[in-house]
Amino acid sequence: MAEYSVQRFRGGYALVWRENGKRRRFGLEATDRSTAEAEARAWWKAQTGVGGTVGRIVESYIEAGELAGIASTARQRDAWKAMQSFWANVDPTRIDEEMAREYVRRRDRAQATTRYELSMLSVALRWAARQDLIEKVPVIWRPEAPERRERHLTQKQFSKWFKEVRAEHARLYVELALATMARPTAILELTWAQVDWDHGTINLNPAGRRQTRKRRPTVPLDEETIAILKRAHEGAQSDFIIERGARKISSIKKAFQAASVRSGIHVTPYMLRHTGAVWAAERGTPMAELAQFMGHDDDRTTQKHYARFSPSYLRGVSSKLRAARTEAAELTS
């Protein structure tokens, strides 16, 4: 296939090339020249790849996401590293249920892991169809979604575990995790510029990052957390709040694992988000407020996972049932 060019088309841009003596055109979604050229490179790479293999498609799909600034591409790249030995040279038209099941058997990982990987593959192939890279999207079989269990710590468990967290950067992480209920990645990416000292808040969404489905809100900080942050700020050696040796921390898991071994209580970074939510619910925090604090779009997700921990949960139903039972007893006496 010949080389292409990016040209203006109907108020936007299109990728244009000649094939078999005919002029071909593919409309791009980008609205500015630099993004259009980047999108065209990703499309062209997939279109001219070796037989339109799954590997070429997935690589181009992830690259297009990176160009668009989609935050989830880092996780997709990690997943693809594990997937590519099985899928890279596969013809998309050959994919069937038995192939997906065979992948799960060979991968031999947690159900949630293989379900995510096959879901990503399905999304990448649907993207390829929209880009006219393949004619038909194969149906990708996936394992059933495992039952989700939200784990949290009691105050006693947390106290015992936290005593064994020794590194200063890890202790600061834990304080912020409970104070903000933010996801691990959001905490590790925090910079001092995101702290509003005057108003006592912290914007969990850094400048330039587009809000995604996993929304990062601006949340207030309690006085004790502000004091802890001020002490850390005085000795800061970089722009990042969670740092070690003047460098950003990419993962906090090792510190958590070490404290878990020493305390005998297994704790993961994500558990602190659930722990904070449960503690707030136990103290009667309205679900609508908790939803906003946690970055949920509405309180349905919050209700599903945390309402049962609230002291007022279904109390109205219980009291009405007691009233009905009392009336019934009076009628039979």
Q: What is the pLDDT of residues 77-128, one digit of tens each?
A: 999 999 999 999 898 989 999 999 999 999 998 888 999 999 999 999 999 8
So what's the pLDDT on residue 52?
A: 72
**190 is in which domain, residue-wise?**
158-309
| Same structural domain, 138 and 191 | no
Mean pLDDT to the nearest integer, 123-134? 86
| Same structural domain, 162 and 281 | yes
| Same structural domain, 167 and 253 | yes
CA-closest candidate to residue 62, choices 80, 83, 87: 80
Tens-digit pLDDT profile for residues 267-322: 999 999 999 999 999 999 999 999 999 999 888 889 988 999 988 887 888 788 77
So what's the pLDDT on residue 267?
A: 94
> CA–CA separation, 267 vs 19, rounded Å?
58
| Same structural domain, 168 and 300 | yes
| Same structural domain, 171 and 252 | yes
Residue 21 covered by a domain: no
**How sure is the predictor about 47, in pLDDT bands with cuts at 50, 70 and 90?**
low
Beta bridge partners of 203: 218
CA-closest candidate to residue 60, choices 133, 140, 141: 133
Assign residue 241 the CATH number of its domain.
1.10.443.10
Tens-digit pLDDT profile for residues 140-179: 999 987 765 668 999 999 999 999 999 999 999 999 999 9
> CA–CA separation, 225 vs 20, rounded Å?
67
So what's the pLDDT on residue 1?
A: 43
Span between the terminal Cα atoms of the chain, in Å: 92
Residue 233 covered by a domain: yes
Tens-digit pLDDT profile for residues 238-259: 999 999 999 999 899 999 999 9
**How sure is the predictor about 50, in pLDDT bands with cuts at 50, 70 and 90?**
very low
| Same structural domain, 180 and 267 | yes
